[in-house]
Amino acid sequence: MSSGADIYHEMIVDYSRNPLNYGEIENHDVTFHDSNPLCGDSIDIDMKIDDNKVADIKFHGKGCAICMACTSVLTEITKGKSLDDVRKIEKNDILGELGLEHLQAVRIKCALLSLKVLKSALYTYLGSHLENSEGIDTLKTEAENLY
């Protein structure tokens, strides 16, 4: 289990100071907000969707170093991806990128808040563009099995 100082390597500290894709998208197609009551991390993700692809993604909010770094990485991974591929992003895609696979349980929520917000934004978007109710049930099942 990685704990304490081990997790605070250069990349985490740098991203926490200078997060990637930080800001707002004025004419976004979807936005979502959520927070993590443990340390008060609070994240908004805006996305611009063109042709079923994430044309642009930005986030803003406050958070601990782990949260900011993970959100930076997640937004980088997401940018340019098709919505189907965004649906397939898993927690280890982010944790692996930052060497946080064995993050202790209390901090995992900091690391995965942005994934939760991203998926919620995606489902919000997909839900509002659905043509049949069958799709809604599929989305609901997916949302319930997020983690």
Partner 1 sequence: MQSTETSFENIKKDFPILTRTVRDNKRLVYLDNASTTQKPNQVIDAITDYYRNHNANIHRAVYALAEESTEAYETARDKIAKFVNIKNRQELIFVRGTTEAINLVAYAWGRSHIDEGDIIVTTEYEHHSNIVPWQLLTQEKRAKLEYIGMNDNGELNLDDLDKYLATGKVKLVTFSLMSNVLGTITDSEKIIAKCKAAGVPTLIDGAQAVPHMKVDLDTLGCDFFAFSGHKMLAPTGIGVLWVRKSVLQTMNPFHGGGDMIREVHKYETTWNDLPYKFEAGTPNIADVIGFGAAIDYLTKIGMDNVRQHEIELTKYAMEEFGKVPGLTIYGTKDLTKRGGVISFNFADVHPHDVAQLIDEQGIALRSGHHCAQVLMERLDVAATSRASFYIYNTKADVDALIDSLKSVAKVFKL
Q: Give the footprint of partner 1 on this chain (CB under 8 A).
A: 3-5, 7-8, 13, 16-17, 37-42, 62-67, 107, 110
DSSP conformation letters of 98-124: TT-TTB-HHHHHHHHHHHHHHHHHHHH
65 vs 139 by CB, closer to partner 1: 65
Q: Give the C-alpha separation, 47 to 121, whole Å.
A: 8
Contacts of residue 35, defined as CB under 8 A and 6 or more positions apart, other chains included, come to 41, 42, 43, 113
1 vs 51 by CB, closer to partner 1: 1
Cβ at position 59, least distance to partner 1 in Å: 15
Cβ at position 5, least distance to partner 1 in Å: 5
Cβ at position 41, least distance to partner 1 in Å: 7
98 vs 126 by CB, closer to partner 1: 98
Chain-centre distance for alpha carbon 97: 13
